[in-house]
Amino acid sequence: MKVICTEKSQILATQVARALKTTVVDVRYSRFPDGELYLIAGEIDDEMVIIGSVVDSDSLVQLMLLVDACDRATNRLILPYMAYARQDKQFKAGEPVSSRVVARALSQGVSEVITVNIHEKGVLGSFTVPAQNLSLAKDIGSYIKTLRLNNPLILAPDEGAITFAEQVASVGGWEYDHLEKTRLNGVDVKMAPRQLSAKSRSVVIVDDIISTGGTIATAAGMLYRQGAKDVFTACVHGVFTGGAYTHLMATGIRDVVCSDTIERSCSRISAADQIANAIRKH
Catalytic residue among 89, 181, 190, 199: 181
The window from 64-72, 121-129, 172-180, 209-217 that contacts ligand R5P (CB under 6 A) reads 209-217
Q: Is 181 one of the annotated active-site residues of the chain?
A: yes
C-alpha angle 126-132-135 in degrees, rounded to nearest 5:
120
Q: Shortest distance, CB of residue 210 to ligand R5P, whole angstroms?
A: 5
Footprint of ligand R5P on 168-207 (CB under 6 A):
207
Sheet holding 47-51, edge to edge: 2-5, 47-51, 74-79, 112-116, 131-134
Min. distance of Cβ 156 from ligand R5P in angstroms?
9
Contact between residue 81 and residue 54 where contact means Cβ atoms under 8 Å apart = yes
Site for ligand R5P in 215-254 (CB under 6 A): 215
- Distance, CA of 240 to CA of 227 (rounded, Å): 27
CB of 238 to ligand R5P, least distance (A): 10
Determine contact, residues 164/206, Cβ cutoff 8 Å: yes
Q: Does 213 bind ligand R5P (CB under 6 A)?
A: yes
210 is an interface residue for ligand R5P by CB under 6 A: yes
DSSP state of 184: -
Query: Using CA of residue 233, residue 132, residue 120, residue 110, what is the dihedral sign?
Result: positive
Confirm or reject binding of residue 157 to ligand R5P (CB under 6 A).
yes
Kindly state the number of chain residues that form the binding site for ligand R5P, as judged by CB under 6 A: 11
Which positions lie near ligand R5P, rule CB under 6 A? 157, 161, 207-215
Active site residues: 181
